[in-house]
A and B are shown apart, each in its own frame.
Chain A
Amino acid sequence: MVPEPPPAGNGSSAAPGIAVEARNASKEFGQGEGAMRALDDVSVAIRKGEFFTLLGPSGCGKTTLLRLIAGFDTPTSGTILLNGRDITADPPNRRPVNTVFQSYALFPHLTVLQNIRFGLDMLGRKRAEADARAAEMLALVRLEGFAARRTAQLSGGQQQRVALARALAPAPEVLLLDEPLSALDLKLRKEMQRELKRLQRETGITFVFVTHDQEEALTMSDRIGVMRGGRILQIGGPREIYNQPANRFVADFIGETNFLAGEVEAVEGDLATIGLPCGSLTVPATGLGQGQKVTLAIRPEQVRIGEAEGLPAMITGNVYFGTDTHCHLELAGGAEIVARLQNAADDVAALDEGTSVRVSFAPGSVQVLQD
């Protein structure tokens, strides 16, 4: 195990089960008027053994937060805790945390085996022990025959595996992954997504994964932190983030969403009636006041097209995607929405442009977002 000083008795210890935590962490680059706030008072607690994803568009601060945890940057204010211990001032080589870099950063002058051993050698492990551990890592990432190769002789996917093995070899308490799959083609990326999940399950190490790819985040994560403008907007499991987005940005960034602007007409217990230009909808919602302007968010796959009941609409076009068809509709009053129809299940896709229909939404699928 990584040498670790005894737990500091400074009373800052986090709740048990928390691997790494940022408390009110801010990071500014530059000084004075030209200062850029990359991270703005972020607090997040990542649980032991969890696959946690930081998701957001480029420039949202996700990589900055990762670099603060790794120790490559120090926060302008706030603290970073590892197992309840304040590590804010520790240099990267004193933190039992390893990183898989976006560019892999494999040492080109060393062999695959020497790359994987690097961390163990720097920690002063015995030769036999380091050899055994490196062999174990090679087997873990399924590169047994590649020990003596130069890294330049490997394919992108293989380099990725070496980078993983190298970072996992010292058995870090937290593994940080900075958009590691972005350089791979789609098929290899899918394969590596499953591979990463497997490695995380087999090693039990806490993974903090950074990506801008919402699909990657949804498929791999135990929990996701959605970031924008240096802040974390919502933390939750993939289903929660997808089904109950906290605000318009999250709803828009994760998957596709229809937005309808409306106004609260009446509130009755847990139900609110929202007035739209094309009619009104009664949906479950709390904390709303009459006359309040709201936005309704509905996922395209929750839109039902029928003839009997619902809001009047007209089909303006169909786009065929293979597994499904996107049916574009114009509601009375001019709002446009998209319905996703599964080609295997629905035969509505055959509806022609210009057909008048009625649109309804699956129960519980309408999210009321307060602007």
Chain B
Amino acid sequence: MAERRPFSVTRLPGFTAIAIITFALLYAPIATLVAFSFNGSESIAIWGGFSWRWYAIAWQNTAVQEATVRSLVIAASAAAIAGTVATLAALGTTRTRPFRGQTLIYVLVNQPLMVPEIVTAVALLIFFSGIKLATGYAGLGYLILAHSAFCVPFAYLPIRARLEGMDLSLETAACDLYADRFQTFRHVTLPLMAPGIVAGVMLAFIISLDDVVITEFVKSAGQDTLPTYMLGQLRRAVTPEVNAISTALLALTVLLLTVFFLLTRKRD
């Protein structure tokens, strides 16, 4: 409080009230969903006492088990591929002399953030159906490739930020101290960018785990992921089982995001 700022949004009338209402609107639906995942009755609206019942049902549901495994396999594969691509792209756009078309590369890498998801979904559907017809292959590969593609920018941004924040004289110093290019990368660049890579991969993992639109279009029959399975369930009778699955997903996401936050937090 050493300095009095000329303008502060916190002193506007109604600031506190608006803030409370905004947070309530954001979190009340999620809180409700979490609460009713512990509902003892069959309803998603009428409270019937606390119970783990729906978690047990979801746990034993083979469709849920399969969708979960599929989701994790796709997310892990897509995160690994996107992380590798994004690392190389980040090195290529920050550790080279500025080249003609660099901005274009930047736009291309980040394209999935700008193009409407439904457009990408339709395009992939048409593109992959041609390949399916030609090759006869109908496995998980299409979903993994599709997820990898739209996960790249999410992995790219934290890695690039990390590289840009790195003091270039560190690499010069390594070279001065008899490290060749590979040793410089192995002993200096890579360890210093590692937190960025981990953060990028985790973000890609979450984005993939959460995707509905592109998955819905690209998946073949019997390739439901957890989100598309839940969407399918909502079309029929809705039970708190969906709440239980959602809450589990939420817990996983919050956990990963917490780790992401801790990794990208600026150290003082």
Interface residues on B, range: 10 to 19
Q: Return the CB mask of B172-204 against A: 1 if under 8 Å, else 0.
A: 111111111001000110011000000000000
CA distance A265 to B244 in the complex (A): 104
Which residues of chain A are within 8 angstroms of B174 by Cβ–Cβ distance?
107, 118, 122
- The segment from A22-30, A93-101, A133-141, A314-322 found at the interface with B is A93-101
Nearest-CB distance from A253 to chain B (Å)?
Answer: 28
CB <8 Å contact, A105 and B172: yes
Q: A72-B172, A107-B170 are in contact. Are A93 and B192 (CB under 8 A)?
A: no
Q: Return the CB mask of A1-39 against B: 1 if under 8 Å, else 0.
A: 010000000000000000000000000000000000000
Q: Return the CB mask of A163-183 against B: 1 if under 8 Å, else 0.
A: 000110010000000000000
Q: Is A108 an interface residue when CB atoms closer than 8 A count as contact?
A: yes
CB <8 Å contact, A119 and B178: yes
Q: A103-B167, A122-B183 are in contact. Are A98 and B176 (CB under 8 A)?
A: yes
CB <8 Å contact, B176 and A70: yes
Which residues of chain A are within 8 angstroms of B179 by Cβ–Cβ distance?
93, 118, 122
Q: Is A156 an interface residue when CB atoms closer than 8 A count as contact?
A: no
CB <8 Å contact, A166 and B169: no
- Tell which of A93, A105, A107, A109 touches B180, judged by Cβ atoms closer than 8 Å: A93
- Tell which of A71, A97, A99 touches B173, judged by Cβ atoms closer than 8 Å: A99
Q: Is A92 an interface residue when CB atoms closer than 8 A count as contact?
A: yes
Q: Can you name the residue of chain A whose Cβ is closest to the Cβ of B191? A: A109
- Tell which of B172, B173, B178 touches A123, judged by Cβ atoms closer than 8 Å: B178
Which residues of chain A are within 8 angstroms of B167 by Cβ–Cβ distance?
103, 105
- Tell which of A72, A103, A119 touches B177, judged by Cβ atoms closer than 8 Å: A119
CB <8 Å contact, A109 and B192: yes
Q: A93-B180, A122-B183 are in contact. Are A105 and B170 (CB under 8 A)?
A: yes
CB <8 Å contact, B192 and A98: no
Within 8 A of B (CB), among A77-102: 91-94, 97-99, 101
CA distance A189 to B248 in the complex (A): 59
Q: Can you name the residue of chain B whose Cβ is closest to the Cβ of A99? A: B176
CA distance A93 to B183 in the complex (A): 11
Interface residues on A, range: 20 to 34
Q: Can you name the residue of chain A whose Cβ is closest to the Cβ of B166? A: A108
CA distance A236 to B174 in the complex (A): 34
CA distance A167 to B172 in the complex (A): 13
CB <8 Å contact, B169 and A101: yes
Within 8 A of A (CB), among B204-221: none
CB <8 Å contact, B173 and A93: no
CB <8 Å contact, A105 and B191: no
Q: A107-B188, A109-B192, A122-B183 are in contact. Are A93 and B176 (CB under 8 A)?
A: yes
Which residues of chain B are within 8 angstroms of A103 by Cβ–Cβ distance?
167, 169
Which residues of chain A are within 8 angstroms of B176 by Cβ–Cβ distance?
70-72, 92-93, 97-99, 167
Within 8 A of A (CB), among B132-171: 167, 169-170
Most buried by B among A70, A101, A118, A123: A118
Nearest-CB distance from B15 to chain A (Å)?
Answer: 38
Q: Can you name the residue of chain A whose Cβ is closest to the Cβ of B268? A: A152
CB <8 Å contact, A170 and B178: yes
CA distance A33 to B176 in the complex (A): 32
CB <8 Å contact, B178 and A105: no
Which residues of chain A are within 8 angstroms of B183 by Cβ–Cβ distance?
122
Which residues of chain A are within 8 angstroms of B169 by Cβ–Cβ distance?
101, 103, 105
Which residues of chain A are within 8 angstroms of B177 by Cβ–Cβ distance?
93, 98, 118-119, 122, 166-167, 170
CA distance A108 to B175 in the complex (A): 16
Q: Can you name the residue of chain B whose Cβ is closest to the Cβ of A2? A: B178
Which residues of chain B are within 8 angstroms of A2 by Cβ–Cβ distance?
178
Nearest-CB distance from A22 to chain B (Å)?
Answer: 18
Which residues of chain B are within 8 angstroms of A118 by Cβ–Cβ distance?
174, 177, 179, 187
Q: Can you name the residue of chain A whose Cβ is closest to the Cβ of B179? A: A122
Q: Can you name the residue of chain B whose Cβ is closest to the Cβ of A95? A: B176
Within 8 A of B (CB), among A101-153: 101, 103, 105, 107-109, 118-119, 122-123
Q: A107-B188, A109-B192, A122-B183 are in contact. Are A93 and B175 (CB under 8 A)?
A: yes
CB <8 Å contact, A105 and B175: no
Which residues of chain B are within 8 angstroms of A93 by Cβ–Cβ distance?
175-180
CB <8 Å contact, B172 and A122: no
CA distance A105 to B192 in the complex (A): 13
Which residues of chain A are within 8 angstroms of B172 by Cβ–Cβ distance?
72, 92, 101, 105
Q: A103-B167, A105-B167 are in contact. Are A122 and B178 (CB under 8 A)?
A: yes
Nearest-CB distance from B179 to chain A (Å)?
Answer: 5
Which residues of A line the B interface, CB within 8 A? Answer: 2, 70-72, 91-94, 97-99, 101, 103, 105, 107-109, 118-119, 122-123, 166-167, 170
The 4 A-B pairs of least Cβ separation, nearest first, read A119-B177, A105-B173, A122-B178, A105-B169
Since A93-B175, A93-B179, A118-B174 are in contact, a sample of 9 more A-B pairs with Cβ atoms closer than 8 Å, ordered by chain A residue number, is: A72-B175, A98-B176, A99-B176, A105-B167, A107-B173, A108-B192, A109-B191, A122-B177, A167-B177
A-B contacts, 15 of them at CB < 8 A, read A2-B178, A91-B175, A93-B179, A93-B180, A98-B176, A105-B172, A105-B173, A107-B170, A107-B174, A109-B192, A118-B174, A166-B177, A167-B176, A167-B177, A170-B177
